[in-house]
Every structure is written in structure tokens, then in C-alpha cells.
Chain A
Amino acid sequence: MAGAFGFKGCQKIRGAQIRGLLEAKDFFLFDCDGVIWHGENAITGAATVVNSLIRRGKNVVFVTNNCTRPRENYVHKFSRLGFTDVMLEQIFSSSYCSALYLRDVVKVHGQVFVVGCEGLRRELLEAGVPCVEEADDDPDATIYNCALAPDVKAVLVGHDDKLTFLKLAKASCYLRDPECLFLATDNDPWHPLSGGRILPGSGSLTAALEVASARKATVIGKPSRFMFECISSQFRGVDPSQCLMVGDRLETDMLFGSNCGLDTMLTLTGVSQLEEAHEYRNSDLTTNHSFVPDYVVDTIADFLPAFEELEELND
């Protein structure tokens, strides 16, 4: 379909063009924040779009770098916001995929030191990956006298609102062992909240630890390919040419799609602006072209007329 507009068209599409896409693709990957909801508010029309896709027999999965909640919480949130048919198996968060990576790819033997929140730890524990106990460090504990756990085989960094200097210090001690893996759930420098506000992201904590350890983290979440490999493995093989990745962040979602050979669609209800996509497209640096979406919509609600047309055609 990318051929329809030439390489990385970055074209706004509607109506018949969207209908064409809906017919051609059978696997839809959606980012969540800024695409289907903002915080606790569903984007108008998003629930209808998702429910319609599922009812038409399309595969729909949700691919999010948000590592703060376990997937069960997402199931409840989907239900709460009117996305009625979404099941646990359709949800791929960076925390869930980090657990899979540790359990199935690395086959970690030993403990994992987690710089992250409860939601991340729970995904690991549910997958059977042992984590170092979050000791209630007494207020006088310092790097001189704090206990370091034996047998730590990986350090995993994610969003951690309880980050302290001591945690950073412990993590860098563990990372002195070159055999100890260094993983990050994602490298988003900041996370958007509703109302245009932002908070520091996992990427900022990972960057601190990279400087401390002079090592580079292996990133599990978008734009790395691993989450697509998780999806593909769970669905017993997914053909990239059948997929459409829909997201709101050029440096995460569009690059992820590009890295995995998927067609990409930018929706303008979230982080990235159309002007930024154009800047990347006009850039002399060819690597910047991977940030450019194939298609653009103002909101995924723009799919709705296409569904209506398809229904009319089928009558």
C-alpha cells in the first residue's frame, strides 16, 4: 500500500482510501496513549472503531510502552472506556514483553534488579522471573553499608517514581559485572499526560544509568522490534505486509513500524505534529525517513465513515 503514494507518503487520507486500507490489512496494531485514549478519556469514536474492526474479524492488538500497570488493569480500563471486546491476549505492554524477554529469550537464571514500579514487578513475578526484593531501605542506608543481592543477572529499568540515588547506585554496582544484562522497558524521554502536560519518562532514568555504567541498555519497547516478535510469536506468525501500525509518536510508533516492515499511520490526537513529520521527510539524513508515516489521519475516528461505506456496499 505504501506504493500507492510513493515511499513514505505522509499523506492525510480519508474516505475511500481508508476503506481500501481496511480491506487490505487484517492486522491492526494500536498504540494507546494519544491514539485511543487520553488518560481516562477515550478519544471520541475510538471505541466504535476498535469494536468494529474486531467484529469484522480483523486482528487487533495494543502495543504500548507504558510499563506502569499490569495487563489485567488494562483489560479493566478498556472495558471502562467502552472498548467491549478487548481481551488480555490482545494487550502488549513493554513490562509484559520485558518479562517474556527475560523468561524466554534470556532464560534468566538468577535475580533481576528492577528500577521500576509495582506494575512492572508484577508482570515479572507473574511470568516467574525472580526480582530482588524491594527492601525498605532504612533512611540511613548508603552505598557503603547497603546490602547488595547476590546472583543478580539483570538490571531492568522502567518508569520509577520512587527512584532514589541509592537505587541508581545499586544498579550501577550490579552493572559492573559484564555478565549482568542491562535492559530498559523503553527509552521515551518523557510521557504525555492529558492537558498537554508531561512527566519524565523511562528514557531519562535509563540515560542516567547508561552514563553511570558506561554501558548501553537493550531496549525492549518501541521502537525496538522485540514487541512485534512477541506479537508474532503469540499469533503464530504475522505477515508484516498485512499489518498497519497506528500511533501518535514519530520517534516511537512510526520508527517501530518501519523497523518491523509494517505500514504506518500517524494520528494527530497525540504527541507528534504533522509539521514534525514533514521535517523528517524533508531531511537530508536518510535515517530520519524512518520516522515518516505512510498515512496520516486527524483522529482514528476518521475510520468511521469508511465502515459505514463498507456496510452500505455489503447491503
Chain B
Amino acid sequence: MSGTKCTRLSGSLVKQLLDSVDSVLFDCDGVIWRGDQVIPGAPQVINLLKEHGKKVFFVTNNSSKTRRMYAEKMSTLGFSVTEEEVFGTAYCCAMYLKTTCRLEGKVYLIGSSAMRQELEAVGIQQTGVGPDHVLGKQSDWAGVPLDPEVRAVVVGFDEHFSYMKLNRALQYLLQKDCLFVGTNRDNRLPLEGGKAVPGTGCLLQAVETAAQRRAQTVGKPNHFMFDCVASQFGVQRERCLMVGDRLDTDILLGSNCGLKTLLTLTGVSTVADAEANWESGCTERQGMVPDYYVESIADLLPALQA
């Protein structure tokens, strides 16, 4: 890709960039908040963008909340947002199964009750949510009763993940016509204070290894989440900006979909990471280099307030 990449966004460039887009997509963790702590200035940025007539959407790989729960969290933190503007993987996964897969039948779900709710909202029944421990002997586990209506195994973030759940997923997936879908491959779920817990990517890898099958993932960097936004709101790629903190999910999604990309440094990735990708000479890695970067999205405020 010729032209400049990974430019510090400041001064008149900010207004120039904002004028060139009609829609802005924001990742959440590490961009507008960290855990329950808002990034200072973030609510004002979102609200001002809307006042300036921009469409604003939120695109997150975090599957532990429904879009309604996200909207409520955002309102509490001062963001003026409606639930239709939020695209989390719990919602997008349900949409994928309903509209792309046209799934008829149930889902065996390794995931949160939020995922269950989003599935039920599109009329898909699930089995499996909640704690599930081994009982009996090894020979019982392999012969665990399978619900004949299950036609898909879906894996999202699940704090109740256990060997028994892994086992059930394996037994369902041995049926060749059983679909296999994962929300995302993030290896860590960020928490406040810099702590991290294993992410959905780990749970998904466990199931994929046992079943020797690869899941179709719905979340960033796969383009499905952008397609969801675009189809519902008529977003034009060339006039769309993706703002995120992870090169391998947010920025790569932006590159894959032909969007402008902005990296914020309040989360996972650094400028050094981006430069290393650029210098690698490897086309895959070069998709993980943003057009611009800022220290924090609060850096957009001066241009918005002017």
C-alpha cells in the first residue's frame, strides 16, 4: 500500500479526517472504557460526533453482554447511545446463525446467558449454558446423551467452561452436519487494572483441537460484523472510520473492509507493534497497520469542539 501509514493524528489532520467520513465505528474495551472505567473524554467524543451528524456504532468482540446491556452500561457512563447502535458478538453470532446459516434446530452453547438471550431473541433455542461438571465414569462421558435437535455448536466466552462442556461439544461435533461457530479468537479478555483472563480464543482452541475441526468465527477481524452494520444502516466503506486498540482485530477488520483506520493507544497495541508489522514486508501483517494513531480518542476533542 503506497501513501503514508501510521501517522500521528493531530492538528488540522483531525478535522480533515473527520470531514472525510460519515460513520465512525468504535471498539469498546481499551478505546472508550477499560472495564468499568471510562476513558476520560470518551463520552464527549461520541456525543459530539453525533451532534456533528456522524453515525456512530460500537463493534465489540466481547460476547458477555447483550446489546441492551451494553447500551445500559454506556448510558450509565455518560454515552448517548441506543441499543441498535451496538454490535457485540453475542448479537452478531445470533444474526449469523439466523440469516447466513439459516439454522433450523438447536444450538449447543458454550457461552454466557447474554448469548442465550440474543439467540432466543431470534428464535433459536440452546442447551448447555451454566455450570456443567463431570459425573460418573469416563465411559459415561463419551456416551453422554445428545439432544437430537442440536444442529450447531457455538463457543463464546464462558466462565463456567469445564472439561464436561468441552466433551459435550466434541461429541456433537463428531456429527459431520453439525455447524461449528465461534464468537471470536481474542486470547485475553481485558479487565481493569491491567489484569487479564483467558479469552474466548482459548476455549475455542480447546474445542477445535479435540474435534480436529475449525470453527467459523463471527467477530473481528472477520468482515461479518461490518456487514451487519452496513446492511442495517447503509454505511459507505470509503466514508467510514474504524477506531480500535488492537491491530489484529480492529485495524485488520478496517483493512479487510476498506475502511479508514485509527489506532488508539489506551489499550493493547503499540506504535512499535504497528511499525513492526509494516516493516515485516508480509502482506498479512501489513493489513494490521493503521492509517493514523492517537494517544487516546480524547485527542479528537479539540477538532470537535472548535
Contact = CB atoms under 8 A, between A and B. Distances in A.
Interface string B128-150: 00000110001101110000000
Contact of B159 (A165, A199, A210): A165
A211 interface: yes
Contact of A197 (B143, B188, B198, B212): B143
Interface string A25-46: 0000000000000010000000
B164 to A, nearest CB: 8
Contacts of B203: 208
Contacts of A211: 187, 198, 201-202, 205
B259 interface: no
Given A160-B163, A165-B160, A189 B209 contact: yes
Given A162-B134, A163-B163, A207-B209, A200 B170 contact: yes
A190 interface: yes
Interface in B194-252: 195-199, 201-203, 205-210, 212
Interface residues of B, number: 36
Contact of B163 (A143, A194, A200, A207): A200
A210 B205 CA distance: 9
B169 to A, nearest CB: 9
A161 B199 contact: no
A175 B143 CA distance: 35
A81 interface: no
A117 to B, nearest CB: 10
B163 A168 contact: no
B209 A203 contact: yes
Interface of A: prevailing SS: mixed
A194 B137 CA distance: 13
Interface string B148-186: 000000000011111110110010001000000000000
Contact of A214 (B134, B167, B187): B187
Interface bin, chain A:
20 to 34
Nearest to B160: A165
Interface string A133-157: 0000000001110000000000000
Interface string A242-263: 0000000000000000000000
A161 B166 CA distance: 10
A272 to B, nearest CB: 14
A209 B202 contact: yes
B49 to A, nearest CB: 34
A88 interface: no
A144 B35 CA distance: 13
Contacts of A201: 210
Contacts of B159: 142, 165
24 contacts: A143-B197, A144-B191, A144-B195, A161-B164, A163-B163, A165-B159, A165-B162, A168-B161, A169-B198, A172-B196, A172-B202, A197-B142, A199-B141, A199-B167, A199-B170, A200-B167, A200-B170, A200-B210, A204-B166, A208-B202, A208-B203, A208-B205, A211-B198, A212-B188
- 4 smallest CB-CB distances across A and B, nearest first, come from A197-B142, A200-B210, A212-B198, A208-B206
Interface of B: 133-134, 138-139, 141-143, 158-164, 166-167, 170, 174, 187-188, 191, 195-199, 201-203, 205-210, 212
Interface of A: 39, 142-144, 160-165, 168-169, 172, 189-190, 193-195, 197-201, 203-205, 207-212, 214
